[in-house]
Amino acid sequence: MKIEIDDQSFFELDFGDIVYISGYNHQNMWKIYRSLYYYFNKSPMLSTNIYGDDNIEISLDDVSPSTKNTQTYFISNRDSIYQQMIYKKGNLLFENLNTLNDSFEITRILEELNDTNTKLSLLVQEHINNYANNLIIDFEDVTYFDVLKYFLKVSYEDSNRTFPLEFMETESLVDELLNLIESSLKKANNDTWIVLYNLDSFVSRSAKKTILNKLKEFTDRFELKVIYLGNSLTDCSITSAETEKIVVAADEFHQLLPIENLSKSIKMRYPNDFPHSTEQLVQSLIQVIPYVGNKENVSLNPRDLVLLKIVNDILGYETSLDYSDQILNSAETKFLLD
């Protein structure tokens, strides 16, 4: 996959169903989000100014993703979740409710409603005939889309009380979001992309884990692609089979090798016998990736500092390490052991 992040400056990666992009360089991650957002939301004036006369170029297997036939959802703050539950074109609730247009039961109820409209027209016409000979009264038939557009009201219920949707807490919105995504994917005829940006800033750690675990499950069942852009990989539930799905956002972008190759390279550089199991190595990588290439002092636990220095060496970076806080005096050590 290739994403243009500035005029003729491209970010390239191997992209299957999900990718995790994380690192200290927030500006680089923002550029990726910006390119994806304006590409799929078709903003030609902005894209021409920033990306050149050819607008934004994005390709997947040398083919540009169709902006018309790809459903995309960008989740970057609480409001972007809340908006998915409003009946508005392009939003999840809109897509889900519209699919009910062909429901036999809804069609039957609308026919009954329109029969009532006809009776109402006749009654009003009788009244009009008392003082007007040439006026004809008619209430037009109501369609399902008329009902959604003019009469739909979405609220939420808590402890037997009804509240405006705006009052709904973010953690509850997450559950509703995932349910709507699953329902939409079951009915989707085209590819769906979900771009997650800076989740840590507006959902809890448990909610973040729920979102990513559920979306990973969906990638196995549906035509779904997920791009995660975040300051931290904590709670992403990344397994040893997924290290090649991690991209480090430092001065440059670096996609990690599969765990077998990466582990071998790390072991060759380790100062003594390698102390980690494969799963322990993955968990340590999750801790150090956000600091790779960071020129400020970094404070981690001692073994993670060793791993960070090794990953920096592999990728060609030098990072200032702060390990002074790791040294405990005897009283502190005794306190932890008690």
CA separation for the pair 232, 91 (Å, rounded): 27
- Residue 296: what pLDDT? 82
Is 257's pLDDT higher than 70? yes
89: tokens are 């074109």
CA separation for the pair 81, 209 (Å, rounded): 16
CA separation for the pair 323, 299 (Å, rounded): 6
**Contacts for 214 with CB less than 8 Å, ≥ 6 apart:** 178, 181, 182
pTM over 0.85: yes
CA separation for the pair 53, 303 (Å, rounded): 49
85: tokens are 């539950």
Residue 42, Cα to own-chain centre: how many angstroms?
19
Question: Parallel, antiparallel, or unpaired: how do β-strands 253-255 and 58-59 relate?
Answer: unpaired
Is 20's pLDDT higher than 80? yes
Question: Which position has the higher pLDDT, 334 or 80?
Answer: 80
User: Which residue type occupies 331?
Assistant: A
Q: List pLDDT tens digits, range 153-197.
A: 999 888 888 988 888 888 888 999 999 999 999 988 889 999 999
- On the CB side of 114, CA atoms within 13 Å amount to 13
Give residue 233's pLDDT band: very low, low, confident or very high (50, 70, 90): very high
Q: Which uninterrupted H or E stretch holds 45?
A: helix 44-51
Residue 89, Cα to own-chain centre: how many angstroms?
19
Is 335's pLDDT higher than 70? no
Is 113's pLDDT higher than 90? yes
192: tokens are 């769906």
Is 52's pLDDT higher than 80? no
Question: Which position has the higher pLDDT, 215 or 300?
Answer: 215
Question: Which position has the higher pLDDT, 30 or 271?
Answer: 30
Q: What average pLDDT does the segment 94-113 reach?
A: 94
Sheet holding 9-12, edge to edge: 9-12, 2-6, 58-59
Mean pLDDT of all residues in the chain? 89
117: tokens are 């409209």
146: tokens are 């008329």
Give the number of residues written for the chain. 338
Q: Which of 102, 79, 64, 276 is nearest to 187 (CA)?
A: 102
CA separation for the pair 166, 14 (Å, rounded): 39
Please answer whether residues 196 and 211 qualify as being in contact, where contact means their C-beta atoms are separated by less than 8 angstroms: yes
- On the CB side of 111, CA atoms within 13 Å amount to 6
Give residue 34's pLDDT band: very low, low, confident or very high (50, 70, 90): very high
Tell me how far apart the terminal alpha carbons of the chain are, to the nearest angstrom: 53
Phi-psi region of 160 (alpha: psi -120 to 50; beta: other; left: phi over 0): left
Question: Parallel, antiparallel, or unpaired: how do β-strands 9-12 and 246-249 relate?
Answer: unpaired
Q: What is the DSSP letter of 246?
A: E
DSSP 14-28: --SSEEEEE-S-HHH
Backbone angles phi, psi at 269, to 5 degrees: -100, -5
CA separation for the pair 275, 283 (Å, rounded): 13
- Residue 41: what pLDDT? 86
* H helical segments located in 52-204: 78-82, 92-98, 104-128, 144-151, 170-187
Give residue 59's pLDDT band: very low, low, confident or very high (50, 70, 90): very high
